[in-house]
Structure formats: structure tokens, C-alpha cells
Amino acid sequence: MSESRAVVDLDRDTVWQGLQDGSILLVDVREPNEYAAGHIPGAISNPLSAFDPSALPTGRRIVFSCAAGVRSLHALGFAQAFGLDLHEHYKGGFRDWVMSGGPVER
């Protein structure tokens, strides 16, 4: 795997810290109905079914998230293929967040 295709799996604590200090912009790639039913506070929605890498904001460390870490890897691949220098996703996703007792926004 080349450097540009590297993937960094982040855990809940790392994501939580980045959200708290404002360094991470969490991009939730689940579908709109999933996002509306509950999401990690501070996450923005960019569903994989209509994923647009050009719509990603700049200026913060982008981390992808989904339900369990599969769709976030797909989004990461799409972003890298688009030429973006992004490498991080929340490996456990929303499921891990909820199971760990993390706050949920609706």
C-alpha cells in the first residue's frame, strides 16, 4: 500500500479528544435517516450514497465515521482517489460510540 493510500484507524478516545479540542471534523457517511436517528455530537453528514469529496470543508483534520467502520473506509478511498490527503477514520464508528456510552445528538 502506498503512502497516499494509508489508512489510520482511530479509537473512540482519540475521536472524543479531537472533537473536544476542535481539531477533528467528524464526517458521518451513514445515510440521512441513520444520521437523523442519532449521531456523534459535532459530526456533519455527507452520506456515502451521495458522497462528494469536493464538498468536504477544509481547515480541520477530517475523520470519517459510519455505523461500524466499513463505509468510512469506502469514503476514505473515494476521498483519496479524488486526490485529498486524508487517512483517518473512526474504526468502531457510531456503534462503538454508543456501546462506550458516548453522548448522542438527534
Domains and CATH numbers, the chain: 3-99 (3.40.250.10)
| pLDDT above 90 for 16 | yes
Average pLDDT, integer, range 15-42: 98
Helix (H, G, I), strand (E, B) or coil at 83: coil
Q: Which residue has the cell 471534523?
A: 25
Which of 2-6, 39-43, 95-99 is least confident?
Answer: 2-6
Q: Give the global pTM.
A: 0.94
C-beta separation of 51 from 76 below 8 A: no
